[in-house]
């Protein structure tokens, strides 16, 4: 009589008769568990899924379903699963196991209701269309955790993991039985300090081999190549950038395109201001590091990111306020102070501030003496004073003074071009006229005007 069926009770007269005649039999029969009604009970099916080419390695994230049941489970990182299902005692269960990229598999067993039930053997899962691979034929980069890392103490990750995949002639990942030994080679600048670990490793059952790149103290672009040892099979070089760290006070400076520009002469004149920012190892800081600028004269762009050489460049524009002798606006008449700031290690502000750009103004030109008499076979020395009207500062670099004479000989420089300078010595110039007869001496001013000195036998006055 089946235990899955309800056992019927006999008529009452049979019970009374049995009680008188064979009481012992009645007692045994009435106490038998087989007289209970049985049904579906909660039970657990336990099993493991492994790679078809590596039975020692479990396959994670495999979906397990019981056919005809509302029950499913997933394998853990080691390939094990525990499927909770409601089943009757001695019920035959069929399981389906699936995962993207793998051929589906099935398993079956007869369960004992209310008790744990383990599959008699692990279920092997094979890659879709893979079967057994051939030997290594090519090697390619499968993935990289990063293609840009930072030097130590730079605030960014110092490591990148590169995973290479070895394929057979049919572009299938090599299986465990065709595993290959992979050697990694790092190409970098001398003294770069970057390193790879490990330098040699075997592929796993998926044909994968990984190495970790750790940065050194030098910002550089490195290359990593993977090759199958003992063969000519190798990957294309993989490029990883190692960028600089955070700004360092000893590697922070700034300069200007010109130290003297016509800032008082016209509105809208411009000068480039560039900050140069390096890290503690003398590398350019990471591209995009923010640098901030301010000025006591004109207007200036507030900030700019650094480029790959650690340069941050903004434009200073001639406009109000103009630097002058008022202490609140300037340290020195006509010279603007520029302040440059950025943030260093441990959120430490780095600040540079200095007088940087002279705003030169409108031209003032004079010559002495204004009257003169040159004796026969004699000479006369002249002094030219050339500066701006506003602060008596030198004019901008490139300004030219040219002297010509229609009589006599010029014994000093006949032409002077000003450098880019603040030096007050570039506001006074001398020249000599030797043995003039009659004629005119002409001084050409920077703004194109001509100042004529006319030597005669008696004193002459300067005319403009």
Across the range 348-373, mean pLDDT stands at 90
Give 400-448 pLDDT, tens digit per residue.
Answer: 888 877 666 776 556 788 999 999 999 998 888 776 655 556 666 565 5
Please check the confidence at residue 464 and state whether its pLDDT lies above 60: no
Please check the confidence at residue 462 and state whether its pLDDT lies above 90: no
The two structure tokens encoding residue 421: 């300078």
Across the range 362-374, mean pLDDT stands at 83
Give the CATH superfamily of 140-243: Immunoglobulins (2.60.40.10)
Rounded (10°) angle between helices 23-31 and 12-21: 130
For every residue of the chain, which 3-state class applies, written as one string?
CCCCCCCCCCCHHHHHHHHHHCHHHHHHHHHCHHHCCCCCEEEEEEEEEEECCEEEEECCCCEEEECCCCCEEECCCCCEEEEEEEECCCEEEEEEEECCCECCEEEEEEECCCCEEECCCCEEECECCCCCCCCCCEEEEEEECCCEEECCCCCCCCEEEEEEEEECCCCCECCHHHCCEEEEEEECCCCCCCEEECCEEECCCCCEEEEEEECCCCCEEEEEEEEECCCCCECCCEEEEEECCCCCHHHEEEEECCCEECCCCCCCCEEEEEEEEECCCCCECCCCCEEEEEECCCEECCEEECCCCCEEEEEEECCCCCCCCCCCCCCECCEEEEEEEEECHHHCEEEEEEEEEEECCCEEEEEECCCCCCCCCCEEEEEEEEEECCCCCCCCCCCEEEEEECCCEECCCCEEECCCCCCHHHHEEEEEEECCCCCCEEEECCCCCEEEECCCCCCCCCEC
**What CATH number does the domain located at 249-359 have?**
2.60.40.10
Portions of the chain given CATH number 2.60.40.10? 140-243, 249-359, 363-453
Give 65-113 pLDDT, tens digit per residue.
Answer: 999 899 999 999 999 999 999 998 888 888 999 998 788 899 988 899 8
Give 13-70 pLDDT, tens digit per residue.
Answer: 333 333 333 333 333 333 344 444 467 899 999 999 998 878 888 999 999 999 989 9
Give 298-317 pLDDT, tens digit per residue.
Answer: 999 999 999 989 999 999 99
Tell me what pLDDT residue 313 has.
98
Determine how many CB atoms are found less than 10 A away from the CB of residue 398.
12
Compute the distance between CA of residue 123 and CA of residue 120 in angstroms, rounded to an integer: 9
Q: pTM higher than 0.85, yes or no?
A: no
Please check the confidence at residue 277 and state whether its pLDDT lies above 90: yes
Tell me what pLDDT residue 9 has.
36
Which residues have C-beta within 8 Å of that of residue 254, sequence separation ≥ 6? 273, 274, 275, 276, 338, 340, 352, 356
Unique residue bearing structure tokens 């959120």? 347
Give 143-179 pLDDT, tens digit per residue.
Answer: 999 999 999 887 789 999 999 999 999 888 998 889 9
**What CATH number does the domain located at 41-125 have?**
2.60.40.4130
Which residues have C-beta within 8 Å of that of residue 260, sequence separation ≥ 6? 357, 358, 360, 393, 394, 395, 396, 397, 420, 421, 422
Please check the confidence at residue 330 and state whether its pLDDT lies above 70: no
Please check the confidence at residue 251 and state whether its pLDDT lies above 50: yes
CATH class of 363-453: mainly beta
Across the range 448-463, mean pLDDT stands at 42
Unique residue bearing structure tokens 């010279």? 335
Q: Which residue has the higher pLDDT, 87 or 378?
A: 87
Q: Which residue has the higher pLDDT, 162 or 460?
A: 162
Please check the confidence at residue 454 and state whether its pLDDT lies above 90: no
């Amino acid at each position: 009589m089946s235990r899955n069926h309800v056992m019927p009770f006999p008529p009452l007269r049979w019970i009374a008769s049995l009680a008188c005649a064979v009481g012992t039999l009645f007692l045994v029969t009435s106490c038998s568990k087989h007289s209970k009604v049985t049904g579906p009970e909660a039970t657990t099916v336990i099993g493991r899924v492994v790679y078809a080419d590596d039975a020692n390695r479990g396959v994670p994230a495999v979906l397990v379903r019981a056919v005809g049941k509302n029950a499913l489970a997933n394998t853990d990182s080691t390939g094990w699963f525990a499927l909770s299902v409601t089943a009757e005692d001695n019920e035959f269960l069929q399981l389906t196991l699936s995962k993207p990229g793998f051929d589906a598999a099935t398993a079956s067993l007869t369960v004992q209701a209310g008790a744990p039930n383990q599959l008699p053997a692990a279920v092997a899962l094979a890659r879709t269309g893979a079967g057994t691979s051939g030997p290594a034929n090519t090697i390619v980069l499968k993935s990289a955790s990063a293609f840009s890392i930072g030097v130590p103490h730079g605030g960014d990750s110092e490591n990148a993991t590169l995973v290479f995949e070895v394929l057979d002639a049919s572009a299938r990942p090599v299986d465990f039985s065709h595993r290959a030994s992979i050697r990694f080679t790092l190409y970098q600048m001398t003294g770069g300090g970057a390193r790879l670990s490990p330098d040699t490793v075997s592929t796993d059952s998926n044909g994968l081999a990984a190495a970790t790149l750790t940065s050194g103290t030098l910002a550089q672009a490195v290359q990593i190549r993977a090759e199958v040892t003992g063969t000519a099979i190798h990957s294309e070089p993989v490029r990883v950038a190692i960028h600089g760290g955070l700004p360092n006070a000893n590697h922070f400076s700034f300069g200007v395109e010109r130290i003297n520009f016509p800032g008082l002469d016209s509105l809208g004149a411009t000068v480039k201001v560039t900050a140069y920012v390096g890290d503690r190892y003398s590398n350019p800081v990471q591209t995009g590091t923010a640098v901030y600028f301010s000025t006591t004269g004109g207007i200036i762009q507030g900030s700019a990111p650094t480029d790959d050489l650690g340069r941050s460049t903004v434009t200073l524009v001639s406009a109000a306020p103009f630097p002058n002798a008022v202490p609140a606006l300037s340290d020195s008449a006509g010279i603007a102070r520029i302040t440059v700031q950025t943030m260093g290690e441990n959120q430490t502000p780095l600040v540079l501030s200095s007088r940087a750009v002279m705003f030169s103004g409108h031209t003032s030109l004079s010559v002495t003496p204004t009257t003169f008499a040159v004796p026969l076979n004699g000479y006369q020395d002249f002094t030219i004073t050339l500066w701006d009207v506003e602060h008596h500062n030198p004019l901008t670099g490139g300004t030219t003074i040219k002297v010509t004479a229609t009589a006599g000989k010029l014994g000093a420089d006949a032409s002077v071009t000003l450098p880019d300078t603040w030096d007050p010595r570039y506001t006074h110039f001398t020249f000599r006229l030797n043995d003039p007869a009659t004629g005119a001496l002409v001084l050409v001013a920077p703004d194109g005007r001509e100042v004529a000195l006319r030597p005669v036998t008696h004193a002459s006055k300067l005319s403009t």
